[in-house]
Amino acid sequence: EAGVAQSPRYKIIEKRQSVAFWCNPISGHATLYWYQQILGQGPKLLIQFQNNGVVDDSQLPKDRFSAERLKGVDSTLKIQPAKLEDSAVYLCASSLGLGRWDTQYFGPGTRLTVL
């Protein structure tokens, strides 16, 4: 079974530029998550989709971050414009359902450096 795919793996941009990350979840997984992990910290949930609907985006900085999951499969996360404090690893995860017993499967992440 293929895992969660993310691209690119690394990205370096200058502040005020835009950047987009892509995630393809495990086939058949209804729920998709985007996390931000700053160096030395645990992942923080940015947004959670079930199929193509948003379940939770309470911690997404909506003035600069946006995410979509068209057709309920893959997803993109965009930052526009980027700030220095956005430097982090962006992790995508998916789970079969939305139940609290569902295991989340994580992709390898995209490491973003904002200069």
Binding site for another protein (CB under 8 A): 4, 40-45, 48, 55-56, 91, 93, 98, 100-101, 103-109
Shortest separation between residue 1's beta carbon and another protein, angstroms: 14
- Cβ distance to another protein smaller for residue 7 or 80: 7
Is the distance from CB of 32 to CB of 48 less than 8 angstroms? yes
- Residue 9 has which token pair? 């793996």
Min separation Cβ 23 and another protein, Å: 11
Q: Which is nearer to another protein, 24 or 48 (CB)?
A: 48
DSSP tag of 110: E
CB of 95 to another protein, least distance (A): 10
The one-letter code for the residue type at 47 is: I
The DSSP line for 42-101 is: --EEEEEEETTEEEE-TTS-TTTEEEE-GGGS-EEEEESS--GGG-EEEEEEEESSSSTT
Indicate the residue among 47 and 114 with the shorter CB distance to another protein: 47
* Nearest-approach distance from CB 81 to another protein, in angstroms: 25
Q: Which is nearer to another protein, 17 or 37 (CB)?
A: 37
Torsional class of 51: left (φ above 0), alpha (ψ -120 to 50), beta (otherwise): left
